[in-house]
Amino acid sequence: MSPRVQASRHDHTAHRFLRAAAELIDASLAPSTQARPARLRSLDFPAALHWVRVDDVVHIAAASAGTGVSRKAFHNRWATKDEFVRDAVLYTLQYADDPAVDPDTFVRMLPELATGSFARGLCHVADSLLTHLESHPRSYLLLHLGPVIGQHPYLDQAVQQSIRKTREAWHVGYLDVLTRMGARPRPGWPIERIELALQAMLDGFLVRGRLQPTEMRDATWDGASLFADTVIAFTIGVVEPAGEDSTGSRVMLDRLLGRPPYPGE
């Protein structure tokens, strides 16, 4: 009788377990609840927040509030943990506990930061905005939930409403920055499109800053962070001096490289 092969985390059976886990992870990040395992379908709130415990919430609230806070008081307001977590996510995202640090309030300060030359002012605006977001951990909450928010229509709808409610302030803020610097958006780049692109950049830089903090810090060049330089490079293509004839950014790039015109231009 041959000796039993010692189990290993790298053998064929281990690979089957790992592959099953990978399938679960993929399923947890799918854009909808279709074809998800029953266990995942049973979670009404994002699984990323499964660690939130009612006992912890009650303990922390009681420590700061004193009387009137108990587990019974909690369940008089939320019958289930699922209902509470959904409300807690929205409360946190909306900075209801600390409106003064809400980025949607900070945006009104952006034009005041646009001082000095166009490039220097733009660097100041970009770095101030990214630093503000990085200094508040909840800036990462939506990035944490974004990939799975479509699985939770209640949250998705509420978040979309919040985004629509606050976007106008960002459009006004960014347009005020350009106006103060004597610039305007190029054709094809309305301020709404510029704001959406900048928001996507911010999302990416927030995540990458956590993944590669040293590399991101070392990428600073001539006093400008990588984010600020990226915003400058982007801005070159989407704005022009106010009052000058318009030339599309794609046409400009084609001319610079000596290429045929961009289709449709």
pLDDT band at 231 (very low <50, low <70, confident <90, very high): very high
Strand-pair partners of 224:
221
Those residues with Cβ within 8 angstroms of residue 177's Cβ, 6 or more apart along the chain or in another chain: 110, 111, 114, 121, 122, 125
Averaged pLDDT, 94-115: 83
Candidate from 65-69, 131-135, 227-231 with smallest mean pLDDT: 65-69
Q: Three-state DSSP class for 11?
A: coil
Give pLDDT tens digits for 131-173.
999 999 999 988 988 888 888 888 888 889 888 888 888 999 8
Assign 242 a pLDDT band (cuts: 50, 70, 90).
confident
Kindly report each contact of residues 168-175 with a partner whose C-beta sits within 8 Å and lies 24 or more positions away, as own/partner: 169/104, 169/107, 169/108, 170/104, 170/107, 170/195, 170/199, 171/195, 173/107, 173/108, 173/110, 173/111, 174/110, 174/198
